[in-house]
């Protein structure tokens, strides 16, 4: 590939259970303002500023048709381009990267916002299912995830304790992340004693309701080097859909993630992710997903996710720390979640992750998920050089 | 493609309702609060291009700058720039039901410079004209102002 | 551009008011099959799939999930991109972007709307700010009625001029096998149709349509292998306008459109003309497929796109400049007032323009050769997507 693309600036709001004090645009601008200040970029026409905006939000969550209407004004859209990716934020980053690779734009602002607190998650997620076959049985992404968790645990002998360990690890990691919503010192027993939501998923196995925004600036190589001393290069990118009907796939597998990871690894020239990736930020809406996604990403063999968490490899200080930021389980909204994963990867690569900074990070992976049971997967590999 | 009578195919009615709690934020929220508490319209002025944002917003979309605190009173009187008599039945966004829009809709330029859309009291087409002077009539006190534009009943004609 | 791209296959459904014989995914599948057949490809040849619609209209959240079986995104990369009325064009641009990036050779873009399954008016009302004027929202009818009123006041345009354009659109639609409304209209029919909000009559407004469209886009090296008639994508551009109500000191609202200052239509057209050496559209462009949700919009937007001088739009209608046989044909397909499956509408502009460039539009094919076609889309709270398609690179 001729052109290379880097993330030159990232910013997040602190994630919070209810940002009733701000409109969506104001929330988004908290993050946008920081990346504008860090880079000194402006929305100008002379080719020295930001060329385009890619936003990420959802009409259903915003209760507004064409939800990007709300944030265009603060995202520099007036008399300029803006397009909205209606997936998790990793795909917005992915699309911005393609815009630069296509030669159409040099510098792109990406912004995602979400206020989960303003409506009811289960009602929105129910609307993702086939209206005739599935909706009336009351499925949402939680109950669908419970089916997936049960199948995964049954097929590979994964235990509730192993899932609980993910929660304990991520909530603990969050204690060193000033943006995290709900850092907490927990024990496996605390998780196992928390109320059951949809068996086998308990309250602490699930991501809390969260509001927040994330913004970043991507640039082509020549401009990236001028805009930042520490550009984080997007070395690999992958994206893949799985089957929609839950019965059309073995929920204990994650074929779409394996394919998305393969695309990203091939593009980045990664032969053995277990050796070549220094850390990963994965989107675990539910605790079992971190184990399952580790398998899909090739960090362990199929069915070995439980053993990997037992071994301590994915803890801070382990060989392959997972979710040093605290992950989604520590509170991040959908749509923003995957972008926050990219942001953490960038901060770690730049050595700006504060108390949670890992030593010698040269390659980091960020992962995002959209849809029920991880139907649409996105994998981004970022590197220092 | 087959085009058969619709009755032959199963059609499932599924009503979809979603409850929302929308935050107004500090800028838009102040515009709404002034309507509710003080029956007046306030916008905010951009420090750079001097445009008035009404309802108020945090960032001027033209200049991409934060607007600060230059609040502007716009007055409750204005001039009709455009009006329309709605002859079709419309869907009421607050109920999801059909309703007749019995009052003319109008674009009103407030004396303070900003424009708002609302309804006119005057229904007689003969008495409606572009350029007519109008003023806002608010709900009487105690009739449950909500802090939105429905706190204004309509705009009434103030001169010939 | 890293890689030049071409449209190598186009497809659309026959457009109707209701399609109870198919669900949403089956509807999309019809357009996908048509586009693949047109390109003489199968799903195996497709590297990525992008799609979109008006998210809220059918009430489906993340409809790309349900659609994956019907549009062929299963085990392929892709995403959903939604930008309101422009969605169909934005998805097309996304497919151009995917193919131009160098990462994908052949990309499928799918857009649809099944308006018989949701409440479009409810969807459109929810464009408006719930914390401001959504309570009195009526939708696009009121917006375009207002444009029509202010245009008539400012320009000398009479209702007959809109009626002339409406009849022109119907003549196109009657020759287009896919069009929704084919009414054999006369000027009298149009001017006697039901008044909604003056001067907007029922027939000046786009219909509620069920339909889907799809494009196959390929990178240069692949395109030449796939077809002898690639339609080259010369350029594409998206331009927004502010959505906050901004009132400039001393400036009255622009008479010809809503909002103040330069419009997204003007900026988008000027930008794409400038980048591609177009100085006189009437000479440099052979046909335009524009997105006119209302005939009143078409009249005014001729001026904003710079096709003609300001104030001249209605005179063009009078002279028949934009008729299929005229000097500068606009919407030989019949346009949006004849066919409007919203999420797909903007893609249909590109599909129709591509057919004209190829010479494959059938009965509504222009008799003159088409070297270059211009398309637009309009959506959101005033934004524009414009593309330029060309017979040669
Ligand atoms: Zn300003």
Of C49, C75, C103, the CB nearest to A256: C75
Residue B19 touches partner A, C-beta closer than 8 Å: yes
pLDDT confidence band for B160 (50 / 70 / 90): low
Give the C-alpha separation, A335 to C330, whole Å: 40
Together in a domain, C37 and C15: yes
pLDDT tens digits for C162-178? 999 999 999 999 999 99
Question: Span C240-253, mean pLDDT?
Answer: 78
| For B11, nearest residue in chain C (alpha carbons) | C20
Q: Is A110 helix (H, G, I), strand (E, B) or coil?
A: strand
Contacts of C264 in chain A (CB under 8 A): 79
Residue B65 touches partner C, C-beta closer than 8 Å: no
User: Do the Cβ atoms of A166 and A293 come closer than 8 Å?
Assistant: no
- Give the pLDDT confidence score for residue B6 in this predicted structure: 53
User: Mutation test of the interface with chain A: which of C261, C383, C388, choosing the one with the most A Cβ atoms within 10 A?
Assistant: C383
User: Mutation test of the interface with chain A: which of C240, C262, C266, C346, choosing the one with the most A Cβ atoms within 10 A?
Assistant: C240
pTM of full prediction above 0.90: yes
Run of H or E including B153: strand B152-157
Put simply, the answer to whether B21 touches A123 (Cβ < 8 Å) is: no
Residue B11 touches partner A, C-beta closer than 8 Å: no
Together in a domain, C143 and C245: yes
Give the C-alpha separation, B13 to C349, whole Å: 32
Residue A243 touches partner C, C-beta closer than 8 Å: yes
CA-based nearest distance A338→chain C, Å: 14
- Kindly tell me if the per-residue pLDDT of C91 is higher than 70: yes
Together in a domain, C146 and C187: yes
- Kindly tell me if the per-residue pLDDT of C256 is higher than 60: no
Together in a domain, C96 and C245: no
Put simply, the answer to whether B20 touches A118 (Cβ < 8 Å) is: yes
| For A20, nearest residue in chain B (alpha carbons) | B23
Length of chain C: 393
- Contacts of residue C4, Cβ cutoff 8 Å, sequence gap at least 6: C100, C219, C220, C232, C233, C393
Together in a domain, C33 and C160: no
pLDDT confidence band for C254 (50 / 70 / 90): low
Together in a domain, C58 and C182: no
CATH of the domain at C27: 3.40.47.10
User: Do the Cβ atoms of C208 and C341 come closer than 8 Å?
Assistant: no
Where a domain ends, among C197, C232, C267?
C232
Bridge partner list, C248: none
- Kindly tell me if the per-residue pLDDT of C71 is higher than 90: yes
DSSP string, C94-136: HHHHHHHTTS-SEEEEEEEEETTSS-HHHHHHTTS-TTTTGGG
Pairing label, strands B59-60, B65-66? antiparallel
Residue from A63, A59, A69, A78 nearest A25 by CA: A69
| For A73, nearest residue in chain B (alpha carbons) | B61
pLDDT confidence band for B1 (50 / 70 / 90): very low
Together in a domain, C218 and C283: no
User: Do the Cβ atoms of C170 and C182 come closer than 8 Å?
Assistant: yes
Mark residue C311 as left, alpha or beta (left: phi above 0; alpha: psi -120 to 50; beta: remaining). left
Residue B27 touches partner A, C-beta closer than 8 Å: yes
Contacts of C122 in chain B (CB under 8 A): 91, 93, 96
- Kindly tell me if the per-residue pLDDT of C373 is higher than 90: yes
Prediction ipTM score: 0.97
Residue from C56, C52, C111, C58 nearest C83 by CA: C52
How many CB pairs lie under 8 A apart between chains A and B? 68
User: Do the Cβ atoms of C345 and C339 come closer than 8 Å?
Assistant: yes
Domain that holds residue B103: 25-157
Domain that holds residue C165: 131-207+234-390
| For A21, nearest residue in chain B (alpha carbons) | B25
pLDDT confidence band for C3 (50 / 70 / 90): confident
Q: Is A280 helix (H, G, I), strand (E, B) or coil?
A: strand
Q: Of the ranges C116-120, C179-183, C213-217, which one carries the lowest mean pLDDT score?
A: C116-120
Query: Could you tell me the distance, in angstroms and rounded to a whole number, from the CA of residue C224 to the centre of ligand 1?
Result: 49
In this structure, the dihedral spanned by the alpha carbons of residues A26, A28, A29 and A33, taken in order and rounded to 10 degrees, is 160
Residue C20 touches partner A, C-beta closer than 8 Å: no
**Inside any domain, residue B114:** yes
Where a domain ends, among C199, C232, C265?
C232
Structure tokens, C254: 């622009």
Structure tokens, A79: 């008399």
Q: Which residues place a Cβ less than 5 A from the ion ligand 1? A: B 46, 48-49, 60, 62-63
Together in a domain, C110 and C176: no
Which residue bears the tokens 């995002």? A368
Residue B18 touches partner A, C-beta closer than 8 Å: yes
Give the C-alpha separation, A91 to A370, whole Å: 9
Put simply, the answer to whether A119 touches B58 (Cβ < 8 Å) is: no
DSSP string, B42-86: EEEE-TTT-PEESS--SEETTTTEE-TT-EEE--SEEEEEEEE-B
Total domains present in chain B: 1
Give the C-alpha separation, A236 to B56, whole Å: 43
Contacts of C134 in chain B (CB under 8 A): 93
Bridge partner list, C376: C386
**Inside any domain, residue C126:** no
User: Do the Cβ atoms of A185 and A175 come closer than 8 Å?
Assistant: yes
Pairing label, strands C372-379, C287-289? parallel
User: Mutation test of the interface with chain B: which of C33, C124, C136, choosing the one with the most B Cβ atoms within 10 A?
Assistant: C136
Angle CA C246–C247–C250, to nearest 5: 155
Give the C-alpha separation, B118 to C215, whole Å: 43
Residue B14 touches partner A, C-beta closer than 8 Å: yes
Q: Which domains does chain A have, with CATH numbers?
A: 5-119+209-227 (3.40.47.10)
How many CB pairs lie under 8 A apart between chains B and C? 130
**Inside any domain, residue B53:** yes
Of B17, B23, B28, the CB nearest to A118: B23
Contacts of B129 in chain C (CB under 8 A): none
Put simply, the answer to whether A26 touches B27 (Cβ < 8 Å) is: yes
Give the C-alpha separation, A205 to A292, whole Å: 14
- Kindly tell me if the per-residue pLDDT of C154 is higher than 90: no
pLDDT tens digits for A230-286? 999 999 999 999 999 999 999 999 999 999 999 999 999 999 999 999 999 999 999
**Inside any domain, residue C125:** no
Angle CA B108–B110–B113, to nearest 5: 115
Residue from A317, A320, A292 nearest A305 by CA: A292
How many CB pairs lie under 8 A apart between chains A and C? 201
Report chain C's mean pLDDT, rounded to a whole number. 93
Touching chains, C (3+ CB pairs < 8 A): A, B
- Give the pLDDT confidence score for residue B4 in this predicted structure: 54
pLDDT tens digits for A359-369? 999 999 999 99
The gap from C-alpha A214 to its chain's centroid, in whole angstroms, comes to 11
Together in a domain, C146 and C178: yes
Give the C-alpha separation, C31 to A335, whole Å: 29
| For A98, nearest residue in chain C (alpha carbons) | C101
Together in a domain, C102 and C38: yes
Structure tokens, B55: 């309802």
The better pLDDT of the pair C130, A255 is held by: A255
What are the distances in angstroms from CA A247 to CA A147, A151, A242, C315? 10, 11, 12, 61
**Inside any domain, residue B5:** no
Together in a domain, C220 and C310: no
Total domains present in chain C: 2
Q: Is A352 helix (H, G, I), strand (E, B) or coil?
A: coil
The CB density around residue C115, as the number of other CB atoms within 10 Å, is 23
Put simply, the answer to whether A101 touches C243 (Cβ < 8 Å) is: no
**Inside any domain, residue B15:** no
- Kindly tell me if the per-residue pLDDT of C115 is higher than 80: yes
The better pLDDT of the pair A71, C121 is held by: A71
- Kindly tell me if the per-residue pLDDT of B2 is higher than 60: no
Put simply, the answer to whether A118 touches B61 (Cβ < 8 Å) is: no
What b/e string do you get for C5-21 counting C-beta neighbours within 10 Å, with b at 16 or more?
bbbbbbbbbbbbebbbe
Give the C-alpha separation, A166 to A181, whole Å: 17
Put simply, the answer to whether C131 touches B22 (Cβ < 8 Å) is: yes
Together in a domain, C153 and C226: no
**Inside any domain, residue C14:** yes
Of A22, A78, A120, the CB nearest to B61: A78
Structure tokens, A282: 């994965």
- Give the pLDDT confidence score for residue A234 in this predicted structure: 98
**Inside any domain, residue B11:** no
Chain A window 80-109: which residues touch C at a Cβ cutoff of 8 Å?
80-87, 91, 94-95, 97-99, 101-104
**Inside any domain, residue B18:** no
Give the C-alpha separation, C224 to C393, whole Å: 12
């Amino acid at each position: 590939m001729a052109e290379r693309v880097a993330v030159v600036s990232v910013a997040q709001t602190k994630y919070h259970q209810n940002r009733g004090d701000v409109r969506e645009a104001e929330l988004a601008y908290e993050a946008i303002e920081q990346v504008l200040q860090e880079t000194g970029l402006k929305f100008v026409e002379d080719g020295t500023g930001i060329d385009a905006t890619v936003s990420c939000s959802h009409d259903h969550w915003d209760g507004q048709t064409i939800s990007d209407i709300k944030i265009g004004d603060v995202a520099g859209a007036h008399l300029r381009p803006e397009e909205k990716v209606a997936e998790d934020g990793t795909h917005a980053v992915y699309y911005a990267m393609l815009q630069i690779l296509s030669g159409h734009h040099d510098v792109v602002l990406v912004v995602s916002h979400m206020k989960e607190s303003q409506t009811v998650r289960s009602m929105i997620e129910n609307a993702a299912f086939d209206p005739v076959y599935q909706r009336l049985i009351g499925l949402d992404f939680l109950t669908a995830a419970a089916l997936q968790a049960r199948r995964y645990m049954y097929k590979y002998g994964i235990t509730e304790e192993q899932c609980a360990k993910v929660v304990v690890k991520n909530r603990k990691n969050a204690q060193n992340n000033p943006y995290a919503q709900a850092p907490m010192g927990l024990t496996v027993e605390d998780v196992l004693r928390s109320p059951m939501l949809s068996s086998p998923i308990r309250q602490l196995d699930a991501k809390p309701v969260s509001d927040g925004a994330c913004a970043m600036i991507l640039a082509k190589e020549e401009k990236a080097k001028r805009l930042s001393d520490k550009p984080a290069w997007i070395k690999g990118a992958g994206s893949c859909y799985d089957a929609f009907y839950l019965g059309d796939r073995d929920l204990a597998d994650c074929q779409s993630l394996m394919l998305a990871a393969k695309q990203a690894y091939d593009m980045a020239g990664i032969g053995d992710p277990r050796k070549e990736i220094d850390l990963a930020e994965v989107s675990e809406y539910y605790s079992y997903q971190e184990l399952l996604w580790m398998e899909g990403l090739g960090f362990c063999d199929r069915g070995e996710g439980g053993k990997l968490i037992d071994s301590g490899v994915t803890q801070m200080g382990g060989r392959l720390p997972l979710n040093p930021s605290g992950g989604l389980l520590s509170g991040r909204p959908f749509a923003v979640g995957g972008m926050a994963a990219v942001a953490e990867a960038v901060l770690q690569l730049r050595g700006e992750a504060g108390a949670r900074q890992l030593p010698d990070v040269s390659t980091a992976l960020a992962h995002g998920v959209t849809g029920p049971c991880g139907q649409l997967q996105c994998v981004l590999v970022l590197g220092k050089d | 493609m087959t085009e058969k009578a619709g009755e032959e195919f199963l059609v499932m009615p599924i009503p979809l309702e979603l409850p929302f709690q929308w935050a107004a934020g500090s800028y838009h929220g102040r515009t709404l609060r002034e309507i509710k508490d003080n029956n007046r319209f306030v916008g905010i002025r951009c420090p750079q291009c001097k445009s008035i944002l009404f309802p108020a917003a945090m960032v001027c979309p033209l200049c991409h700058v934060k607007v600060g605190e230059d609040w502007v009173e716009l007055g409750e009187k204005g001039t009709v720039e455009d009006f329309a008599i709605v002859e079709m039945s419309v869907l009421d966004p607050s109920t999801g039901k059909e309703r007749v829009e019995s009052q003319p809709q109008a674009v009103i330029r407030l004396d303070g410079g900003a424009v708002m859309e609302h309804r006119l009291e005057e229904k007689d087409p003969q008495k409606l004209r572009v350029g007519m002077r109008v003023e806002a009539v608010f709900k009487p006190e105690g009739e449950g102002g909500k802090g939105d534009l429905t706190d204004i009943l309509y705009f009434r004609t103030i001169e010939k | 551009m890293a890689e030049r791209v071409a449209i190598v296959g186009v497809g659309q459904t026959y457009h109707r008011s209701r399609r109870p014989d198919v669900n949403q995914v089956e509807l999309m599948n019809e357009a996908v099959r048509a586009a693949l057949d047109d390109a003489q490809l199968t799903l195996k040849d497709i590297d990525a799939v992008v799609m979109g619609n008006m998210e809220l209209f059918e009430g489906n959240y993340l409809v790309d999930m349900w659609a994956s079986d019907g549009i062929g995104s299963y085990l392929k990369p892709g995403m959903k991109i939604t930008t309101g009325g422009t969605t169909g064009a934005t998805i097309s641009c996304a497919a151009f972007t995917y193919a131009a990036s160098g990462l994908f050779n052949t990309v499928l873009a799918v857009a649809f709307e099944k308006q018989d399954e949701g409440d479009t008016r409810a969807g459109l009302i929810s464009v408006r700010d719930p914390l401001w004027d959504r309570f009195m929202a009526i939708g696009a009818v009121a917006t375009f009625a207002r444009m029509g009123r202010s245009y008539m006041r400012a320009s000398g345009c009479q209702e007959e001029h809109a009626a002339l354009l409406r009849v022109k659109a119907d003549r196109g639609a009657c020759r287009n096998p896919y069009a929704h409304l084919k009414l054999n209209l006369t000027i009298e029919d149009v001017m006697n149709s039901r008044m909604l909000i003056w001067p907007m009559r029922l027939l000046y407004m786009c219909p509620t349509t069920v339909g889907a469209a799809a494009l196959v886009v390929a990178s240069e090296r692949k395109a030449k292998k796939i077809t002898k008639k690639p339609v080259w994508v010369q350029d594409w551009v998206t331009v927004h306008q502010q959505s906050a109500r901004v009132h400039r000191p001393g400036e009255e609202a622009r008479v010809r459109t809503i909002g103040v200052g330069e419009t997204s239509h003007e900026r988008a057209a000027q930008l794409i003309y400038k980048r591609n050496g177009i100085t006189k559209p009437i000479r440099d462009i052979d046909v335009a497929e524009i997105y006119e949700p209302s005939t009143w919009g078409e009249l005014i937007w001729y001026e904003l796109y710079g096709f003609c001088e300001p104030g001249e739009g209605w005179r063009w209608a009078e002279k028949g400049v934009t008729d299929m046989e005229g000097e500068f044909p606009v919407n030989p397909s019949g346009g949006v007032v004849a066919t409007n499956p919203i999420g797909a509408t903007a893609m249909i502009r590109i599909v129709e323009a591509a057919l004209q460039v190829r010479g494959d539009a059938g009965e509504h094919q222009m008799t003159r050769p088409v070297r270059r076609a211009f398309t637009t889309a309009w959506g959101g709270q005033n934004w524009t997507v414009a593309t330029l398609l060309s017979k040669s690179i």
